[in-house]
Structure 1
Amino acid sequence: MQLISKLSLSLVTVSTLVLGGCQQFTQPQTPASPMVEAENQFHLQGKIGVRTPQQSGSAFFNWLQQQEQFDIELSGILGVGKTQISGQPGQVTLNSAKTGTIQAATAEELLQRATGWQAPISHIIDWVQARPATTQAKVAYDSQRRPTQFLEDGWTVDLSYNEQARLPNRLILKQTFESGQENRITMVIQNR
């Protein structure tokens, strides 16, 4: 039972932080497209799965982003195990019945404290909007000039699209270690 509790806490923490990063990097300038959502303003619903060498799990998410402020709700099947995450520059808060309230200055800091691993959590805001988070990213494109892969800060991010959509409906984030093991985060966006 204790192992299940630790696994649940780790999944909630990682999912929370993956979905709750705050913008911290200067964005490359890209032309505006009428089909693209307003920058850093979106509402996403879907499912997230996290797999590390030590554990794996999944949750449903509802993510509202308004510029640099966000509100995310994570839950299991039938809404069981709800976790609320909110953030703004300088403060990220996670609240659930299992953990109580946990706060940190950034999502990356909260992830490090809670799980011991480091990840560029704030980049996900850009990645779900089909753009790199930094100017150092290596980007691959499809025939429609949509990004299909980012190589950025030690992560490989594969993006998939529905038909002619300009924004991805699936992201797979992978961090591979020298041992061949990896951390993998899969996000399926069902509604935008």
Structure 2
Amino acid sequence: MRTISKFCISALVASTLVFTGCQQYIQPQEQTTTPVVEAPNQFNLQGKIGVRTPQQSGSAFFTWVQEQDEFDIELSGILGVGKTQINGKPGAVSLQSAKTGLIMAATPEELLERATGWQAPITHLVKWVQAKPATAHAQLSKDESGRATQIIEDGWVVDLSYDNNATLPNKLILKQALETGKENRITMIIQNR
């Protein structure tokens, strides 16, 4: 079996980091009706992620446990080969793998940049997997059932797909246009929620 290049590992780490993060707090606007209280960000996802950049591509299986603003992500190749563990809570994010050793940072974005050189608003993915925009300035497209089908936010276009009448997406395609006319693309398939 061929060894995955260091860059490919970095791309997979970057894609994994896309799943991490603390939530941005947006001050609610004053309402005249009873405010709706949103449930905390709590979920457990399993699936597969693929990353394609102009230089490299790769894929991995993931398990992502989110408990409000703390998370635990495990990334592995076929048959569990090349396991990477990413953990985070406010102010402390760490990545541990046999290839990279331990990398630590204060934010998921900082960890992503240290590990791969990428800059991206990766904390947004916690909302995106729930079919919600992360900020008030996001552009949102919906289908006839009112489900989000596309979110354009902070330099990324996120296309969401659903199984039948499901209310949460089972597939997300994240695209970041590059100045060269090419793109970075991350495809996330959620097999279990």
Contact 1:11–1:58 (Cα < 8 Å) also in 2: no
Q: Scaled by the length of structure 2, what TM-score is found? A: 0.90
Q: Residue 19 of structure 1 aligns with which residue?
A: 19
The 8 Å contact of residues 91 and 105 in structure 1, kept in 2 or not, is answered as yes
Report the alpha carbon displacement of residue 40 of structure 1 after superposing the two structures with TM: 0.7
The structure-2 alpha-carbon separation of the partners of 1:56 and 1:28, relative to structure 1 and needing over 3 Å to count, comes to: farther
In structure 1, the partner of 2:107 is 106
1:58-83, Cα deviation, whole Å (9 max, x unpaired)? 00000000000000110000111111
2:160: which partner in 1?
159
Q: Which letter maps to 2:101?
A: G
Q: What SS class does the counterpart of residue 133 from structure 1 fall into?
A: coil
Distance 2:44 2:119 in 1: 26
Which residue of structure 1 lines up, in the alignment, with residue 10 of structure 2?
10
Read off the aligned partner of 1:47 and give its amino acid letter: K
For the aligned residue pairs, the C-alpha RMSD in angstroms reads: 2.2
Query: Residues of 2 paired with 1:190 and 1:164: CA distance?
Result: 16
- Give the counterpart letter for 1:79 in structure 2: G
> How does the TM-score come out when normalised to structure 1?
0.91
For 1:94, the aligned partner's letter is: L
Runs of 4+ deviating beyond 2 Å: 2-5, 24-33
For the residues of structure 2 that align with 1:28 and 1:130, how far apart are their CA atoms?
19
Q: For residues 145 and 28 of structure 1, do their structure 2 counterparts lie closer, same or farther at Cα, with a shift above 3 Å needed? A: farther
Match of 1:63 in 2: 64
1:28 to partner: Cα distance: 7.1
Q: Give the partner amino acid of 1:130.
A: A
**2: CA distance, partners of 1:27 / 1:183:** 32
What do residues 83-142 of structure 1 show as CA deviations (whole Å, max 9, x unaligned)?
Answer: 111000011100111111100011111111221111110000000001000000000000
* Aligned sequence identity (%): 67
Distance 1:113 1:181 in 2: 23
Q: Secondary structure of 1:71's partner?
A: strand
Residue ranges of structure 2 left out of the alignment (5+ in a row): 30-34
Q: Which moved more, 1:43-52 or 1:113-122?
A: 113-122
TM-superposed deviation, 1:154: 0.7
Structure 1: gaps spanning 5 or more residues: none
